[in-house]
């Protein structure tokens, strides 16, 4: 029998619903500070989220809109590096101010994972400084075995490289781990690595095709707060609105 021994969490949109009112806002503030005539509204940012990674998102936008046409490659790379560094500073300030709360059930489920003695890791394309701010400050008190973030891998999601690296880092088999993701590209990356996947979509990803996930719920849920709803998945699962670590371990262990 292969028993579940580890959980990997994506960050943006899963741990904190950071995209619309966090990263997007920080990008726009950085654009203004640097005098750039760029403003990412809510629908546009939803489209840009199909490109994983902040620097990659900037590069895609600048080339697709012609903004970078008059710039040489080193110049555009330098601009992106400066923009992304400043955006990261702004975003961390937003995080530390408490303006971006955790999604329902995240801390509770992580505490249960710690209590059960299971491995807990973060696998995100987000900047490493941001990832560590979330893990060490916003989620202070939670024990993480590792945080993999940013440019730790060459190929971003939907490529499975970050999840393959996580498996090598913890020494577990893919069928011993559950991933919590929120998007089509995240689910695709985890399934390509052979992992079980629980998807918790947010406002930006709710209409994406998450059909490859083993379980899809609106949120992880809290007993005394917001309850989640079962939205789909490929396994039968008794869900009362609160997803529990032991329940997941028992269901996905083979």
* Catalytic residue numbers, as ranges: 10, 12
CA separation for the pair 143, 127 (Å, rounded): 20
Angle at 145 between CA 199 and CA 185, to 5 degrees: 30
Q: Cα-flanking dihedrals φ and ψ of residue 205, to 5°?
A: -110, 0
Instruction: Identify the burial level of 127 via C-beta atoms within 10 angstroms of its C-beta, where 0-12 means exposed, 13-18 middle and 19 or more buried.
Output: buried
CA separation for the pair 206, 48 (Å, rounded): 15
User: Among residues 229, 238, 189, which one has the least CA distance to residue 213?
Assistant: 189
C-beta separation of 130 from 91 below 8 A? yes
C-beta separation of 57 from 48 below 8 A? yes
CA separation for the pair 196, 187 (Å, rounded): 9
Tell how strand 177-181 and strand 230-232 pair up: unpaired
Under DSSP, the state recorded for 102 is: B
């Amino acid at each position: 029998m292969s028993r579940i021994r580890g959980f990997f969490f994506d960050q943006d949109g899963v741990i904190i619903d950071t995209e619309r009112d966090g990263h997007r806002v920080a990008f726009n503030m950085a654009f203004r500070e640097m005098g750039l005539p760029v403003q990412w509204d809510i629908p546009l940012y939803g489209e840009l989220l199909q490109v994983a990674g902040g620097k990659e998102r900037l590069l895609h936008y600048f080339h697709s809109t012609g903004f970078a046409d008059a710039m040489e490659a080193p110049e555009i790379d330098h601009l992106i590096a400066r923009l992304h560094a400043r955006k990261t500073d702004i975003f961390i300030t937003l995080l530390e101010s408490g303006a971006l709360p955790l999604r329902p059930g995240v801390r509770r489920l992580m505490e249960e994972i710690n209590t059960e003695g299971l491995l807990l890791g973060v696998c995100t394309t987000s900047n490493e400084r941001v990832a560590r701010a979330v893990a060490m400050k916003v989620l202070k008190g939670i024990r993480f075995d590792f945080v993999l973030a940013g440019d730790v891998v060459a190929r971003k999601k939907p490529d499975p490289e970050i999840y393959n690296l996580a498996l090598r880092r913890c020494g577990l088999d893919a069928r011993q781990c559950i991933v919590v993701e929120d998007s089509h590209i995240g689910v695709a990356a985890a399934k390509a690595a052979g992992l079980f996947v629980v998807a918790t979509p947010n406002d930006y990803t709710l209409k994406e095709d998450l059909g490859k996930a083993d379980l899809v719920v609106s949120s992880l849920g809290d007993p005394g707060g917001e309850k989640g709803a079962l939205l789909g998945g490929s396994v039968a699962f008794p869900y009362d609105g609160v997803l529990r670590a032991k329940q997941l371990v028992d269901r996905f262990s083979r």
